[in-house]
Amino acid sequence: MDLTYTPAQQAFRTEVRDWLGAHVPKEPLASFDTKEGFEAHREWEHVLNDGGYAMVPWPVEYGGRGANLLEWLIFEEEYYRAGAPKRVNQNGIFLLGPTIMEYGTPDQKARFLPKMAASEEVWAQGWSEPNAGSDMANIQATAIRDGDHYVINGQKTWASRGAYADWLFGMFRTDPESERHRGLTFVLVPLDLPGVTVRPIAQLDGLPGFAEVFLDDVRVPVENRLGDEGKGWQVAMATAGFERGLMLRSPARFQETARRLIDLYRDHAAEAAPGVREAVVDCWSQAEAYTLETYRTVSRLLAGAKIGSEASLNKIFWSELDLRMHEIALQILEERGQLLPGAPAAGDVGSWLDGYLFALSGPIYAGTNEIQRNIIAERILGMPRA
């Protein structure tokens, strides 16, 4: 792996930095867990798409610019360095999009990917059900074939972005007699169809970051099936691999948090408790280590390798690092760390509390870290199933 950038990569970084400098909103957007903020973030995605930066590694015909993964890492570093808004359509562009690239038909790629890149269609994730959270093989919602349609019945819950999204992707049981991961099919569901009811779920901050989605005799065209009927588990595992591995959480996200943590420590070094300095340095080192590991992974991918079970290692590492950095920030801020940014005495608390509340979910979403440790034990270390 060559750790030096080529002149072309340096030029790309300069181009991205200049464009972001000219286009990133001067004021932070409202949370995309509000209706107003959701639409403001969708508009930002339109701006990104118009500039050719919606999803740089995608092919040009699908709304990308044909960049390779190293250039994507460079783009992400500049994106976070610029303080650009969060990506409201991350379920689509980082998770479903790569899955459609791998399993979609030519018609599906042409139909869904450009609208996804432009955020004309924002996607909700429909994995969990009331009795099938991290255990996706226990999914009970059904999609029964009726001519050219599937008739879907059941309930999805904890659907990320579900409160305001346009579409939902998820698995449904197309063989009612099947069990566990057999007989499941991956289906793309418009959320404006008759029979769909969306009920927002409040997060810790009170905003509807999730939703329950009730599906009552919802008729979805068979052409919305992704992959073969009954083979949804295989398709979903590809999506989960993208979520746990490379795309959803680029190292730039954690490098930027580490830089902010260092700045916070410097501002409060005089009153910091013993051991905080060493903890901050350790977090910065871990963020840099994750970056180097990701560059190594990308180099392997560009040489033809694929991401396998090691995605579980990534997921545990970044989720626990993110939580640790926010815990240390709140420790530095002491009592003021419990204040929201708009509180009269908030001062420099910034978004640390918001970040901490979200970081708490890191060890849970994308498959709990307990499940990831089981995967590592069985598939990487070769240990027997417990």
Active site residues: 243
CB 159 within 8 A of CB 209: no
| Cβ-Cβ contacts under 8 Å for 179 (sequence gap 6 or more) | none
Task: Give me the torsion for CA of 207, 213, 214, 220, rounded to 10°.
Answer: 150
> Residue 240 is inside which H or E element, if any?
helix 232-244
Residue type at 241?
Answer: G
- Angstrom distances, CA of residue 243 to CA of 92, 180, 383: 11, 21, 24
Cα separation, 368 vs 386, in Å, equals: 17
Distance CA 158, CA 127 (A): 8
**In 137-255, beta strands by DSSP E:** 142-146, 149-156, 167-173, 184-190, 196-201, 210-221, 225-226
d(CA 176, CA 183): 8
Q: Which residue has the tokens 């018609």?
A: 107
Determine how β-strand 123-126 pairs with β-strand 167-173: parallel
